[in-house]
Amino acid sequence: MGWTVSLSGIHELNSAVRSISCSSCAAVRDAVRAQPLCFSSFIDHSNLQVGRIVAARKLRRVGSQTGKDFVSRILRARSDNAEVSDYETDGAFTTRPTQVQDGLVDNSGESSLPRAVAIQKLGLNLRSERGDVPVLRDCSLNVPEGQLWMLLGPNGCGKSTLLKAMAGLLKPNAGKMFVIGPRSFVFQNPDHQVVMPTAEADVAFGLGRFDLPIDEVRERVHKSLKAVGMDQYAQRPVQTLSGGQKQRIAIAGALAESSRLLLLDELTTYLDRDDQIGVLEAVRSVVGVPQKVTALWVTHRLEELEYADGAAYMENGRVILSGSVAEVEAYIKLKQDELFNRKDSVR
């Protein structure tokens, strides 16, 4: 077995990166520890920095290298990244605002479970050439712990922006928010997040931010891959896997790091029907109160609602309806009928 596909090799790589102490390479070191930005693991930064993003992207470009050459290139990166400045983003993400307490009870009538997400009147502006553009407006949402909720709405309504705010990638300018942690953001294109040569190597590489013994790394990798039905593909080259299988590897990486909240941004956009079902079933199997895992899934596909415990519908930057799947599905179908009738009357 080659160095690049062994867990001990990945463990050696992670140890080498953790050993970097040169101050000029702080951005590289932090990028590896915070590598979920590109590698789909959980994000728990209190202050995400532009320099770290740039460094993470540089590391990703060397991700196709193999073996000890990969290690040496990372170690040499201290000079390559010396020019990277850690410019602060325009604010920090607070996981526990004083206005929203941990363990609140959802009083919506749908569940008495503690909340994994509690958002009240959130506002968020994005800057453009025309000035600040409001993307989220008085946006409120509660998601009970241990449930799979789906977030729907027309293009541009703010669904992905809301997920990014919850992940800490964007800073709201108004409102209150509690988001349970640790949490993971999984992107819609699997080719943008699975970077190592095999499934087990990719999950193990995600554990590099922790100083874990190799036996614990092996155990976490095996358990997480088994949870998403990918244990039989542990040593399969990732380039031979389908898009859905890569998405399941990304989810396994989040589970290996003990993430309690999965933020899933249109995971099935590029997948065929079989892969779509495989990913849905994988997420459904790992979410639950006993597992202490919650998921919020952005989707455009109504048929995916059958896998959900609850749902929310967004328009114009705010959640206008949340609750049972039946309620949200009925509302969406009513709007679709109204749109169809309006078009028919124009003819």
- The pLDDT tens digits for 261-281 are 999 999 998 889 999 999 999
What does the alpha-carbon distance between residue 203 and residue 219 come to, in Å, rounded to a whole number? 11
> Range with the lowest mean pLDDT among 8-12, 37-41, 264-268, 317-321?
37-41
Q: Are 246 and 191 in contact (CB under 8 A)?
A: yes
Question: pTM above 0.75?
Answer: no
Q: Which numeric CATH code is attached to 115-189+212-333?
A: 3.40.50.300
| Torsion angle defined by CA atoms of residues 88, 90, 263 and 117, in that order, rounded to the nearest 10 degrees | 120
Burial of residue 181 (number of CB atoms within 10 Å: 0-12, 13-18, 19+): middle
Q: Of 1, 5, 43, whose CA–CA distance to 209 is shortest? A: 43
Separation CA 57–CA 107 (nearest Å): 42
Looking at every residue in the chain, the average pLDDT score rounds to: 74
pLDDT per residue as tens digits for the range 82-122? 222 222 223 333 333 323 333 333 334 445 578 999 999 99
Query: Can you tell me whether residue 45 is helix, strand or coil?
Result: coil
In this prediction, residue 81 carries a pLDDT of 31
What is the chain's length? 347
Pairing of strands 115-128, 174-179: antiparallel
Domains of the chain, by residue range, sit at 3-33+49-88, 115-189+212-333
DSSP track, 215-243: HHHHHHHHHHHHHTT-GGGTTSBGGGS-H
Q: How large is the average pLDDT for residues 189-203? A: 84
